[in-house]
């Protein structure tokens, strides 16, 4: 039975990712990053809040992150960390440590990252995510969870 639940979760993530794949993207270099690291800035088309997938994370451990930036590294096969508690006044940075390109989506933001690349969403979590647990979609599987516990900014 646990295998069926895991398979249903993976299929659900894949279906949600496919539905979000049409989200418009706009990549731009970020000058504050060294030239040898490809960097893009994610963009959005709307200012609506993204609906959480749940009110509590599936990952067993979901630690808090200090500072204004919450960084996730997408390692081969798994994100690091798998889950993070985030505040409305923090924002997201994602680094591609995998061997291949990645297409990321969270809320109305999306970005394409080459291996070794990184992207920063300058918008604060409270500006585009409703309180609850959100997935950073990283097809084909296994993006991290962000648990926004506070309200909007």
Q: Can you give the three-state secondary structure of 53-102, one letter per residue?
A: CECCCCCCCCEECCCCEEEEEEECCEEECCEEEECCCCEEEEEECCCCCE
Is 80 exceeded by the pLDDT of residue 140? yes
Q: Could you report the per-residue pLDDT of 123-134, keeping only the tens digit for each?
A: 999 999 999 999
Is 153 within a domain?
no
Q: Tell me if the pTM is above 0.75.
A: no
Query: How far is the C-alpha of 55 from the C-alpha of 47, rounded, in Å?
Result: 22
For residue 47, what are the domain limits? 2-148
Is 36 within a domain?
yes
Answer for the pair 138, 77: CB distance below 8 angstroms, yes or no: no
**Residue 123 pLDDT:** 96
**Residue 49 pLDDT:** 81
Q: Could you report the per-residue pLDDT of 60-87, keeping only the tens digit for each?
A: 789 999 999 999 999 998 899 999 999 9
For residue 69, what is the domain's CATH number?
A: 2.60.40.420
Among 11-15, 69-73, 74-78, 109-113, the minimum mean pLDDT is found in: 11-15
- Please tell me the total count of domains within the chain: 1
Q: What is the mean pLDDT of residues 30-40?
A: 41
pLDDT category of residue 22 using cuts at 50, 70 and 90: very low
Is 50 exceeded by the pLDDT of residue 92? yes
Is 60 exceeded by the pLDDT of residue 53? yes
């Amino acid at each position: 039975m646990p295998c069926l639940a895991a398979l249903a979760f993976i299929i659900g993530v894949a279906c949600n990712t496919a539905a979000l794949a049409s989200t418009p993207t706009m990549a731009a270099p970020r000058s504050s990053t060294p030239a040898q690291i490809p960097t893009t800035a994610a963009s959005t088309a709307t200012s609506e809040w993204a609906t959480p997938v749940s009110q509590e994370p599936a990952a067993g451990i979901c630690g808090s992150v200090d500072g204004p930036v919450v960084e996730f590294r997408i390692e081969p096969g798994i994100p690091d960390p798998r889950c993070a508690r985030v505040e409305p006044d923090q924002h997201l940075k994602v680094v591609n440590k995998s061997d291949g390109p990645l297409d990321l989506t969270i809320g109305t933001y999306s970005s394409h990252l080459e291996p070794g690349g990184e992207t920063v969403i300058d918008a604060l979590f409270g500006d585009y995510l409703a309180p609850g647990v959100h997935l950073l979609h990283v097809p084909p599987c296994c993006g991290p969870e962000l648990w926004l516990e506070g309200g909007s900014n």
